[in-house]
């Protein structure tokens, strides 16, 4: 792996100190949940025959603490002369840089997302990326900006602020000394030269800084990302980079962009059938982008339906009004709905809706409702839990399954990707001694394995469900304290392919 580095530098106005600041909290995750989980990942790596993996929470990208109020118009003064490249044929440095800008725009920046964040100045003007002049210049420089030396650094992004964290100007300088080339795939070597310096992945990286992303690997993260600080075989935007771009708090100030939207998703459903009346508990995630909320109140409703069509015949189970609405556009918040003493819900559909009476004017009303079928599986309690991560990276489900009592069932739906070393982990706490049965269903052209670990034991997996069939069925007897104080981990590991899976967990008395 090449030892070239990229640097992100943030220059403030003369009245402020030169510093680098980063947004903490949800934008930065812990790369290792616990020492045991580090050993757990090593065990998984041995199963896959690959290098070490690292369990982490939902994401690992790092968002810079800066406020970009306007889209960025780039003054691209890179050479336009024709060049011959290994991977892109006849082109120019300017054209290559513009193509990488297009890649970020295609991903979209911010929660909407915005696909016009970067624009290219039609007629570039002579400007210096080392000078504060109100122009966002991109160019090569044989000499670095004052206060820096190139060494093995390939690019420097300088962010200049007006007041506070408000961005006034962003300039990018590429090292003019290396013998650059352009190609895709792993870094190439040349006899007598060493690594052939590749331009497009460095350009993508620097434009990632320009939109507001920093180096996850310099914040203790172990994740596959283009935004890591060292050039590698990664030649394009990865899932973690994409999620970072969507987390940038940018809403375009553009009347042509309709920002009004609410959306809803199921986070967890618990159904407890009882002779004296069923009990239901539903947790939903709501995302709020730009819609004006009258009275700062959003109504969330739970209905009983005969099918996946929401109509007047559906009966209201319960509803609630929430005033806990995040001010940050695109930030998700959760709402819980509970009800007891219900007639049997087996075979019925739940319809969960947000703003069903359309008080809030939106661009898209169709994402305001989700359905869930209540199955009759003969369980004392039946829990539905979707995979709680928006990307293909190693992750432990944040909420986990929780307590698992005898005669209870859990169904998990998720997606895994062997190409990105993705795996999904779920923790739970069995109460007392139980026999736990697993059934994992997936497409025939994919191969996923299931591993079962005792969290308190740093040893190998207690169970490996690795049949090359679907469904994959296995079982294990678990000894645990009556209060369920001992934690166990279930890990879904993709061996080959990309696709959906359904994992059913049955606790047998």
Rounded-to-integer distance, Cα 446 and Cα 218, Å: 34
Among the residue ranges 25-34, 145-154, 163-172, 330-339, the one predicted with the least confidence is 25-34
Among residues 247, 266, 289, the one where a domain terminates is 247
What does the pLDDT read at residue 190?
A: 92
Going by pLDDT thresholds of 50, 70 and 90, the confidence category of residue 151 is: confident
**Domain match, 226 and 91 both:** yes
What does the pLDDT read at residue 392?
A: 46
What does the pLDDT read at residue 186?
A: 94
**Domain match, 475 and 383 both:** yes
- Domain containing 242 — which CATH number? 3.40.390.10
**Domain match, 328 and 469 both:** no
Among the residue ranges 17-31, 59-73, 200-214, the one predicted with the least confidence is 17-31
| 314 within domain boundaries | yes
**Domain match, 267 and 370 both:** yes
pTM over 0.75: no
Residue entry with tokens 């991903």:
107
Among residues 61, 59, 36, 42, the alpha carbon closest in space to that of 493 is found at 42
Predicted confidence (pLDDT) at residue 86 exceeds the cutoff of 70: yes
**Domain match, 274 and 398 both:** no
What does the pLDDT read at residue 13?
A: 36
| 124 within domain boundaries | yes
Predicted confidence (pLDDT) at residue 22 exceeds the cutoff of 50: no
| 390 within domain boundaries | yes
CB 427 within 8 A of CB 489: yes
What does the pLDDT read at residue 421?
A: 62
Domain of residue 309: give its range: 258-376
Going by pLDDT thresholds of 50, 70 and 90, the confidence category of residue 203 is: very high
**Domain match, 362 and 471 both:** no
Question: What contacts 413, CB < 8 A, 6 or more positions away?
Answer: 384, 385, 386, 387, 500, 501, 502, 503
Token duo for residue 354: 């947000």
pLDDT, mean over the chain: 79
Token duo for residue 251: 């809403």
| 52 within domain boundaries | no
Residue 16 or residue 395, greater confidence: 395
| 45 within domain boundaries | no
Predicted confidence (pLDDT) at residue 56 exceeds the cutoff of 50: no
Residue 140 or residue 395, greater confidence: 140
3-class SS of residue 143: coil
Predicted confidence (pLDDT) at residue 386 exceeds the cutoff of 60: yes
Rounded-to-integer distance, Cα 29 and Cα 22, Å: 13
| 41 within domain boundaries | no
**Domain total in the chain:** 3
What does the pLDDT read at residue 25?
A: 24
Among residues 376, 409, 432, the one where a domain terminates is 376
Rounded-to-integer distance, Cα 280 and Cα 266, Å: 13
Rounded-to-integer distance, Cα 283 and Cα 352, Å: 10
Neighbours of 285 (CB within 10 A): 17
What does the pLDDT read at residue 395?
A: 52
Question: What contacts 99, CB < 8 A, 6 or more positions away?
Answer: 200
What does the pLDDT read at residue 30?
A: 21
Neighbours of 347 (CB within 10 A): 10
3-class SS of residue 39: helix
Distances 251 to 68, 69, 213, 290, 387 between C-alpha atoms, Å: 9, 8, 16, 9, 28
Out of 25-29, 327-331, 431-435, 495-499, the most confident range is 431-435
- Maximum Cα–Cα distance across the chain: 81
What does the pLDDT read at residue 58?
A: 35
What does the pLDDT read at residue 363?
A: 57
Going by pLDDT thresholds of 50, 70 and 90, the confidence category of residue 174 is: very high
Query: What does the DSSP assignment read for 67-104?
Result: B--SPEEEEE-S--S-EEETTTEEE-HHHHHHHHHHHH
**Domain match, 312 and 424 both:** no
With 0-12 CB in 10 A as exposed, 13-18 as middle and 19+ as buried, what is 43?
A: middle
| 56 within domain boundaries | no
**Domain match, 212 and 187 both:** yes
- Torsions phi, psi for 82 (to 5 deg): -70, 140
Q: State the number of CA atoms in the 13 A half-sphere of 15 facing the CB.
A: 5
- Domain containing 499 — which CATH number? 2.60.120.380
- Domain containing 326 — which CATH number? 2.60.40.10
Quick: pLDDT tens for 446-461.
888 899 988 888 778 8
Among residues 34, 30, 32, 37, the alpha carbon closest in space to that of 490 is found at 37
Provide mean pLDDT across the span 327-337: 78
Predicted confidence (pLDDT) at residue 46 exceeds the cutoff of 70: no
Provide mean pLDDT across the span 455-472: 85
């Amino acid at each position: 792996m090449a030892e070239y580095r990229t640097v992100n530098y943030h220059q403030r106005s003369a009245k402020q100190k030169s510093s680098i600041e980063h947004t903490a909290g949800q934008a930065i995750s812990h790369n290792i949940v616990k020492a045991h989980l580090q050993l757990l990942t090593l065990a998984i790596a041995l199963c896959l025959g690959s290098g070490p993996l690292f369990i982490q929470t939902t994401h690992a990208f790092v968002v810079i603490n800066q406020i970009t109020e306007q889209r960025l118009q780039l003054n691209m003064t890179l050479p336009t002369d024709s060049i011959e490249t290994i991977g892109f044929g006849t082109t120019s440095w300017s054209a290559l840089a513009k193509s990488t800008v297009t890649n970020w725009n295609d991903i979209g920046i911010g929660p909407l997302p915005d696909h016009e964040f970067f624009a290219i100045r039609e007629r570039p003007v002579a400007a210096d990326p080392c000078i504060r002049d109100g122009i966002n210049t991109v160019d090569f420089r044989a000499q670095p900006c004052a206060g820096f030396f190139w060494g093995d650094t390939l690019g420097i992004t300088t962010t200049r602020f007006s007041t506070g964290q408000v961005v006034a100007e962003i300039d990018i300088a590429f090292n003019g000394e290396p013998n650059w080339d352009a190609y895709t795939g792993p870094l190439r070597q040349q006899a007598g030269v060493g690594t052939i310096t590749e331009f497009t992945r460095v350009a993508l990286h620097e434009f990632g800084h320009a939109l507001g992303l920093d180096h996850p690997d310099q914040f203790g993260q172990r994740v596959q990302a283009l935004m890591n600080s060292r050039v590698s075989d990664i030649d394009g935007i990865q899932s973690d980079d994409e999620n970072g771009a969507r987390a940038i708090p940018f809403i375009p100030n553009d009347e042509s962009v309709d920002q009004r939207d609410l959306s809803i998703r199921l986070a967890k459903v618990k159904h407890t059938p009882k002779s004296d009346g069923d009990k239901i508990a539903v947790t939903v995630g709501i995302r709020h982008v730009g819609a004006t909320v009258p009275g700062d109140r959003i109504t969330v409703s739970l209905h009983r339906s005969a099918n996946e069509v929401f109509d007047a015949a559906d009966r209201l189970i319960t509803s609630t009004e929430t005033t806990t609405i995040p001010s940050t556009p695109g930030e998700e918040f959760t709402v819980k709905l509970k009800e007891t003493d219900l007639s049997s819900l087996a075979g019925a559909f739940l319809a969960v809706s947000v703003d069903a009476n359309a008080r809030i004017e939106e661009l898209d009303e169709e994402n305001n409702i989700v359905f869930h079928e209540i199955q009759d599986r003969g369980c004392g309690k039946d829990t539905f839990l979707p995979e709680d991560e928006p990307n293909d990276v190693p992750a432990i489900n944040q909420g986990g399954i929780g307590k698992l009592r005898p005669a209870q069932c859990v169904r998990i739906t998720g997606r895994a990707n062997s190409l990105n070393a993705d795996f999904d982990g779920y923790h739970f706490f069995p109460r007392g001694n139980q026999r736990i049965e697993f059934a994992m269903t997936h497409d025939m052209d994919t191969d996923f394995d299931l591993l079962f670990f005792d969290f308190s034991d740093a040893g190998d997996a207690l169970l490996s469900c690795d049949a090359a069939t679907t469904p994959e069925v296995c079982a294990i007897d678990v000894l645990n304290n009556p209060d369920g104080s001992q934690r166990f981990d279930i890990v879904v590991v993709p061996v080959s392919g990309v696709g959906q899976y359904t994992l059913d967990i049955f606790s047998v008395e």
